[in-house]
Amino acid sequence: GHRAAGSKSDVRERTLIAVKPDGVQRRLVGQIIQRFEQRGFKLVGLKMLQVSDDLLSQHYCELRTKPFYPRLQEYMTSGPLLSCVEYLIVWEGHKVVQASRTMVGHTNPLEAQAGTIRGDFSFHISRNVVHASDSLEGAQREIQLWFQKKELLNWDCFDQTLTCEV
């Protein structure tokens, strides 16, 4: 089939999706993974962890000084009184960064369209279920922050000529 020059690198595009503690507690992880699988993206990294204040502030380095940051930190991280668990997931495929932002929906769930993850599963900005990298550079930075190279798998999926390699 026809393949545009340079598209080989596009199909290797990767993004980071996190299921935040509310999504994990509400048992939404399976449904969220399913949406990316059925869209045709390839799962290349997956882990479950408890996020520390330090790693969270590196992840959200641009938001550290915002007035809502303390509340965001309380929601996302594990302290002595609360053990928050999140899932970190790396998806690969053509234009996956842009596609994921569309699938996740507006930051404020009240503005998110029905059919998006936030629009279907949440109603408040401080409990919006998922994170998705917002740019190629952001995705690279976040994936490096949360994953070691050996934790990301290059594997061949049988249907990739029908899905990712367009």
Active site residues: 131
Q: Do residues 85 and 24 lie in contact, with contact meaning Cβ atoms separated by under 8 Å? A: yes
Work out whether 55 is an interface residue with ligand UDP (CB under 6 A). no
- The 10 Å Cβ neighbour count of residue 26 is 14
Q: Which helix (H) or strand (E) holds 73?
A: helix 69-76
Q: Do 129 and 122 meet the contact criterion of CB atoms below 8 Å apart?
A: yes
Q: Which of 134, 160, 165, 166 binds ligand UDP (CB under 6 A)?
A: 134
Residue 53: CB minimum distance to ligand UDP, A: 15
Q: Which residues pair with 130 in a beta bridge?
A: 19
Pick from 55, 125, 152, 166 the residue near ligand UDP by CB under 6 A: 125
Least distance from ligand UDP to the Cβ atom of residue 75, Å: 7
The only residue of 57, 126, 140, 160 in contact with ligand UDP, by rule CB under 6 A:
126
Q: Please check if 35 is assigned to a binding site.
A: no
